[in-house]
Amino acid sequence: MPELPEVEVTRRSFAGQIAGARILSANLGKPLRWPLSAPPATLIGHVVAAVRRRGKYLLLDIDDGRLLLIHLGMSGSLRFFQTCPPAGKHDHFDLVTSRGTLRLHDPRRFGAVVLTPGEQSDAAQRLLGRLGVEPLGDGFDLVSFQAGLRQRNAPVKQVLLAGELVVGVGNIYASEALFQAGIRPTRKACRIGSESSARLHAAIRSVLASAVELGGSTLKDFSSASGEAGHFQLSACVYGREGLPCVRCGRPVRKMLQGQRSTYFCAACQR
């Protein structure tokens, strides 16, 4: 489900409520992707100082310097409840605080909750250390992005998904950004001209920013921590539109597989 916009929308929907809240208990259900590196009981009595985001990870700063990392995987979503209903079959983590309960719902359990000693610890850096720059931040400058592309021989879509150049661009938004930039997803990154790569740079920013504005994509079951659905998918130009007319030229949108994942594009508009 969640790419950067969904994670950011989720963060914004509960960060203000949980910041300053005292942890009353932390309960795990079925195992998630990585084990907790410390017993969750060690969180009790501590305060959640802030909620940040890095790529597709949510970072909960604990008042003693520890960092609780949450990743939503493919099917995860978070809700923040004032009064928390009983846990359902796919609710696998509850952080009960003085201001409400943060609950992770994740049917496929590709998500993760990892308690680390701090952002610079090995445990945290193992997950965060190789992430590329934030696409909506100042670090995403055109010149370094173009230089990064020139170094990669892989198809540009795979380079975006790898997240080593720039984070947060997942399967939906990679297709959308490449469509907006007029670049064929199979084109080798190092063979993209500087005008095209400048368009891609701008497209990544604008696609992600507009998805955040629209509250993310609601394909299957995404909603924010307050339960709001997103609306980006209504404005998707190519993703999930195989066979439907390209919004620009009217020819049918095509679907192909790249690295076992669906890619949507317009063969006429993208070269």
Q: Which residues make up the interface to DNA (CB under 7 A)?
A: 1-3, 6, 30-31, 33, 55-57, 71, 73-75, 89-90, 107-110, 127, 152-154, 158, 161, 163, 170-172, 216-222, 259-262
Shortest Å, Cβ 161 to DNA = 7
Q: Phi, psi at residue 96, to the nearest 5°?
A: -90, 125
Is residue 176 within 8 A of residue 5, CB to CB? The reply is no
For DNA, which is the closer residue by CB, 96 or 172?
A: 172
Cβ–Cβ under 8 Å, residues 23 and 40: no
Comparing CB distances to DNA, the nearer of 76 and 100 is 76
Judged by CB, which is closer to DNA: 21, or 253?
253
Which residues are known catalytic residues? Answer: 2-3, 56, 261
The least CB distance from residue 39 to DNA, in Å, is 21
- Kindly report the length of the chain: 271
- Tell me if 179 sits within 8 A of 157, measured CB to CB: no
In angstroms, give the least distance from the CB of 70 to DNA. Answer: 11
Nearer to DNA, 44 or 191 (CB): 191
- The smaller minimum CB distance to DNA, of residues 94 and 176, is found at 176
If one counts every other C-beta atom within 10 angstroms of the C-beta of residue 36, the result is 19
State in angstroms the smallest separation of the CB of 262 from DNA.
Answer: 3
d(CA 18, CA 62): 11
Task: Report the nearest approach of DNA to the CB of residue 233 (Å).
Answer: 8
